Structure 1
Amino acid sequence: MLAQADALLRAGRFQEAQGAFRQALAQDPPSLDARLGLSQACLGAGDVALATAWLSDACRLAPRRPEPLVRLAELLLGQQQFAQALPLYQRLYHDIGARDRATLLHYGFCLEQVGEVEEAIVLYREAVGREPGFVEAQVDLAGVLWRVGDYQGALAHAQAAVALAPDHPYAVRILGTALLNLGRLDEAETVLRRALVLKPDLALAQVDLAFTLLLAGRMPEGWDWYEKRWNDTARLQRPVYWRAGYEWQGPQQPLAGRSILVYGEQGLGDQVQFARYLPLLQALGATVLAALRPELLPLVERSFPGVRGVTATSDVQADLHVALLDLPQRLRTTLDSIPSPAPYLHPPAERLAHWQHRLSAWPQRLRVGLAWAGFAAHVNDRNRSLPLSLFRPLLESQQVQCFSLQKSAAGAYRDMAPAPGRLLDLTAEWTDCSDSAAMLRQLDLVITVDSAVAHLAGAVGTPVWLLLPPNPDFRWLLDRADSPWYRGMRLFRRNFGESRQDQVARVLQALQDRLAA
């Protein structure tokens, strides 16, 4: 019966094959081959859930056999269920002793996806050590080293990958990424364009080229390439109501008398930064609907009268729609035409009054808000977040009253516990962004890493001192201490090779200079 089932499977007759494998299983209940065959037949028929169930049963039946573990792990990996695939690769590696190239690479990839970057590096290094000519391992190692600040190591392994396979588009792309992260923009552009000659639809190279151009201030072309981020469907998904024919293409497509739905994407900081574009659509005659983060919508509606916040569901009705971060491209934004560098988000008067009263107990001290960590899952978080202990002199200053602006678990006091009263945390009193914006307005200064706090403080007009990693996000450009996006923002860039301690020391010295003035 197994032979007949296998023949049906090879012939692509998946439903019949399932029946035959079930008969084989009835004749031999402990059969591992029948379970593996059933899983393949289910996959062929498009039933991923049932295939997963049969492979799980095969792993239960033969816990030390590599084949069912490998098949189940690869199936879960293909479904981007990294947390579920990870323990299977751990069993393959630690219990069974698998050291083949696929296990090392896939195990490392799962670790990387769940945030265990240092452990992933160990696996990739082992793969390269066992087989230096393994191009994909060199590529993956180069692609992760920069995340822990080893920019030169990333470059070296990217160069090794290209030396092994000069026409490998992913190797060429990762070399471009390494150069981008080192700020070598001209070289990065050349290499990334070559990657796109080799593989024109390589979305990662398209986006990296966009970042390269935008960092260089070449906005019109940069925004054009940035729109291609939607080609990376593994990382970014259009909303359920998206239809190609309804996507607004720019002012050449009249908006007068029409409704347009602007759908948010990515992080809260992105939505705060680019919300400034909503009134430009109103000026073109549109009725604007905004599907943004729920906690941001009340502040946006208050700041831009006539903009209506909506829930992003398939029931939303509008004549046209457009992605929020595509508006700079549609409106042909340049460095000289960035809209609303002045405060453009305005908290309600009653919230401002509440927070003015709430913070009135420290009239003689400089009121400084502090955010030292960003969203931990962000790809560049290890380079941008800072230990709270570096700010100890600030927390101990009698001329300053510090307020924590860390709303998430990233703000846990992992490396030091501030003395009572030296770092006040009022974030539990925030109900939405109107509260946080109103509190930020009452501060004299915000010192922050690159996070949503920086954008919200800048958007309400509070002075911001922003600490940037050596490889900043595209919006912060290079080689300047101010930002065209926010008036009153001062950038403190960490140079390559400079320690975090030295970067923070420069910030603290600037604060001392301000206090002494």
Structure 2
Amino acid sequence: MLTRGDIVGATHMLETMLKAAPGEPNALHMLAAAKHRAGDCAGALKLFDEATRRAPLVAAFQFNRANLLLEMGRNADALDGYDVALTLRPQHAESWRNRARALRELGRAGDALASSEEALRLMPSDTFAQSERGLALFALRRFEDAVAVFGSVAEAASNNADAHFNLGRSLQELNRLEQALAAFDRAAALDPANADIQHNRAVVLLWLDRRDEAIAAFDASLSQRPGRVDTLYTKGVAHLAFGELADGWPLHALRRHPGSPIAIKDLSRGEREWNGERVSVLRLWREQGVGDEVLFARLAPLAAQRAERLILECSERLAPLFARSFPGLNVCAVGNAPVADAQSPVGGVGQFVAPNAGALGDGAPYLRADGDRLCALRARYVERARGRKIVGIAWASNNQRLGAHKSTALAQWGALLQREHFFVNLQYGEVAAEGERAAARFGAEIYSDSDVDQMASLDDFAAQVAAMDAVVSISNTTVHVAGALGVRCVALVPPGLGLLWYWGSAADTTPWYRSVALVRRASDKGWAEQVARAVGVLERDE
């Protein structure tokens, strides 16, 4: 009866059997399967537990119990169950395959890969085991290998939407955007109601600067999964990237909600949320990284027009720079701010004071470096440069989410480093050895000033950046500081995963900083080609 789908009839028959033979293991096992099919997971597990207690050496009982635990999200218990089943039946491929999934869900991707490969050794053509192997490779960030696996699965099972979706995700991680979109399109055609497929598809369309299609795909995802915070937030980011600030800011505010793909430390302190109204004392507090603090600081004077007093609570190493630059504001380091009538994260005020790019003051500079420090550093660099242009360089980011996609190696900077300039290292971290290798390779002079430590004092760093004739940098804090100071800067903007909304989607300028020129890299090009084009921009604008 159960095999024919008659769950009610099978349940009645099995319960009758158990009344006649209480505790009979096979009947318990079959009744557990019936209850599982009927959606009664708790009842099914209770019966599986009793069946395995009475017949602990039956591998099928242990396997099916583990499958239920896996479905219930009890991954550690499921793993224990598969291990028991495999001691009884070590050549059972499905146990190895499902064990791989439990391990992957537990964050043990390396072990999951080994388990899936054992399943494939026993059952080479099993597409589910192949997919588990691909998912383990994805979790291990072995994206090229994952592409090969999911490509093979998608070819063998062309109507498998999950295979095309996972192929698209793997290609997306490699910034192979057109190929990723093709995979997502195929997955969406096979499973049009899948919100995850439409979400990922929308993100790739955003990166490809296909505005209308991106917004439509976000909406398609939200129609299947209304209120999903990560999709709403990312749609907001898309609006901001396309310059639609009024539409973007309210959704961008969801970054503070559970489910957001980013997290910010809540410094609200229980003070009421500011909603754009006029108040006596307004406190704006820092969020995200230092670069974001610098970017959003532009909005603080606009918000100050709606308060009798505005407190700007920032990172300690930014406080001296901000205090000099915003003399009309009460600038203090995090943790030292007085009580306010209302508060907001500094990035949250945009929806009230910057409804469009026109509110950003044409990207005019708003930070002011220490004059004495600037003069001393400038004199030092001019003396060493001996008539050459002074160019600051930065090439790496330690951003945990995006740093790998934004960072490069100086070995790729030959087109710039072979120019007759005096280069100043603006890169934080232990990079002296890399600088020396690049200098020797390209015949460049790259000066590292031990008197400036931006990790200790961003006021010193601002003076150093202000002492440059020009800056060439990847997308990191250096660009924000240069732009906010009005220093000429060429920013190397990455495609896809490393692209941040404030650089927009296609333009070679940004409304946030008038002194910054954007040089974008196509997803099929390398850093060396991008640096070469940056040299052209640097020399064109001289």
TM > 0.5: yes
Q: More displaced, 412-421 or 128-137?
A: 412-421
Structure 1 segments unaligned to the other structure (5+ residues): none
Residues 47 and 157 of structure 1, relative CA distance in 2, 3 Å threshold: closer
Which amino acid in 2 is paired with 1:423? I
Q: If the length of structure 2 is used for normalisation, what is the TM-score?
A: 0.73
State how far apart, in whole Å, the 2-side matches of 1:230 and 1:103 are.
Answer: 38
Cα distance in structure 2, aligned partners of 1:60 and 1:93: 14
The question of 1:264 aligning with 2:287 is answered yes
1:89 to 112, 119, 132: 112
Q: Which amino acid aligns with 1:417?
A: A
Report what 2:11 is aligned to: none
Alpha-carbon distance change, 118 to 272 in structure 1, aligned in 2, over 3 angstroms: farther
- The answer for the alignment partner of 1:159 in structure 2 is 185
1:131 is aligned, of 133, 137, 157, to 157
Residue of structure 1 in register with 2:422 after alignment: 401
Residue 446 (str. 1) matches residue 471 (str. 2) = yes
2:197 aligned with 1:171: yes
Q: Count matched residues.
A: 497
The equivalent residue for 2:351 is 329
d(CA) in 2 for partners of 1:323, 1:111: 38
Native 8 Å contact 1:276 1:340 kept in 2: no
> Is the counterpart of residue 417 in structure 1 residue 438 in structure 2?
yes
2:520 aligns with 493
Structure 1 Cα separation of the partners of residues 434 and 509 of structure 2:
30
Tell me how far apart the structure 2 counterparts of residues 166 and 233 of structure 1 sit (CA, whole Å). 23
The residue type paired with residue 390 of structure 2 is R
Match for residue 481 of structure 1? 508
State the Cα distance separating 1:77 from its structure 2 match.
Answer: 5.1
CA distance in 2, matches of 1:425, 1:340: 33
1:48-127 mapped onto 2 (5 Å cutoff): 78=105, 81=107, 85-97=108-120, 104-105=130-131, 108-109=134-135, 111-112=137-138, 115-127=141-153
Alignment partners' CA distance in 1, 2:519 and 2:302: 31
- What secondary structure, in the 3-state scheme, does the structure 1 residue paired with 2:447 have? strand
Query: Measured at CA, do residues 511 and 172 of structure 1 come closer, stay the same or move farther in structure 2, by a change above 3 Å?
Result: closer
1:288 to 311, 318, 323: 311
- Give the drift of 1:268: 3.2
2:484 aligned with 1:462: no
CA apart distance, 1:157: 0.5
Compute the displacement of 1:369 (Å).
1.2
Query: Which string of whole-angstrom CA distances, capped at 9 and with x for unpartnered residues, describes residues 184-243 of structure 1?
Result: 112222232222222222334323422332232211012223223445626334536668
* 2:216 is equivalent to residue 190 of structure 1: yes
Deviations 1:456-492, CA, capped at 9 Å, x for gaps? 2112221111222455432123453322111211222
Once residues 161 and 59 of structure 1 are traced to their aligned partners in structure 2, the CA distance between those partners, rounded to angstroms, is 35
Please give the per-residue CA displacement for 1:143-170, whole angstroms capped at 9, x wherever unaligned.
3323423221012111101111222222
User: Within 5 Å, which residues of 2 pair with 1:193-212?
Assistant: 193-212=219-238
- C-alpha separation between the residues in 2 aligned to 1:486 and 1:214? 15
**Equivalence for 1:365:** 388
- In structure 1, the residue matched to 2:20 is none
Amino acid at match of 1:264: E
Change (3 A) 1:223 1:108: farther
Q: Is the 8 A contact 1:251 1:330 kept in 2?
A: yes
The CA deviation string for residues 66-103 of structure 1, in whole angstroms up to 9 with x for no partner, is 78877776567556x4xxx1122121133443776665
What is the SS of the residue equivalent to 2:273? coil
Q: For residue 448 of structure 1, what is the amino acid of its counterpart?
A: S
TM-fit CA distance, 1:317: 6.6
**Partners of 1:32 and 1:176 in 2: how far apart?**
43
In terms of mean alpha carbon deviation, does 67-76 or 85-94 score higher?
67-76
Q: Please list the CA deviations of residues 342-388 of structure 1 after superposition, one character each: whole Å capped at 9, or x if unmatched.
A: 33233445643553354242241111112234447544854x54453
Find the aligned partners of 1:53 and 1:179 in 2 and give their Cα distance. Answer: 39
Structure 2 regions of 5+ residues with no counterpart?
1-22, 33-39
- State the secondary structure of the residue aligned to 2:262: coil
Q: Tell me if structure 2 keeps the 8 A contact 1:374–1:410.
A: no
Supply the distance in 2 between the matched residues of 1:467 and 1:351 (Cα, whole angstroms): 28
Q: How far apart are the structure 1 equivalents of 2:81 and 2:339?
A: 43
- Offset at residue 402 of structure 1 (A): 1.3
Residue deviations 1:434-457 (CA, integer Å, cap 9, x gap): 232221111110112222221121
Q: Counterparts of 2:342 and 2:315 in 1: how far apart (Å)?
A: 20
- Candidates 166, 174, 178, aligned match of 1:140: 166
> Secondary structure in 1 aligned to 2:439?
coil
Deviation of 1:409 after TM superposition, in Å, equals 6.7
Q: Give the aligned CA root-mean-square deviation in angstroms.
A: 4.8
How many angstroms apart in 2 are the aligned matches of 1:152 and 1:201? Answer: 29
- Give, in angstroms, the shift of residue 59 of structure 1: 11
Q: One-letter code of the match for 1:288?
A: I
Aligned identity (percent) is: 22
Measured in 2, the distance between the counterparts of 1:302 and 1:147 equals 42
Match of 1:355 among 377, 382, 406: 377
Q: Residues 301, 88 of structure 1: CA spacing in aligned structure 2 closer, same or farther, 3 A cutoff?
A: farther
Question: Could you tell me whether the CA contact under 8 Å between 1:482 and 1:489 is conserved in 2?
Answer: yes
* Separation of aligned partners in 2, 1:295 and 1:55: 53
Distance 1:175 1:237 in 2: 23
Relative to 1, partners in 2 of residues 1:108 and 1:512: Cα closer, same or farther, differing over 3 Å?
A: same
Quote the residue 1:221 is aligned against: 247
Distance of 2:79 and 2:189 partners within structure 1: 43
C-alpha spacing 1:213/1:362, structure 2 compared with 1 (3 Å): same
1:505 counterpart letter in structure 2:
A
Counterpart contact for 1:36–1:58, Cα < 8 Å = no
* TM-score between both structures, scaled by the size of structure 1: 0.76
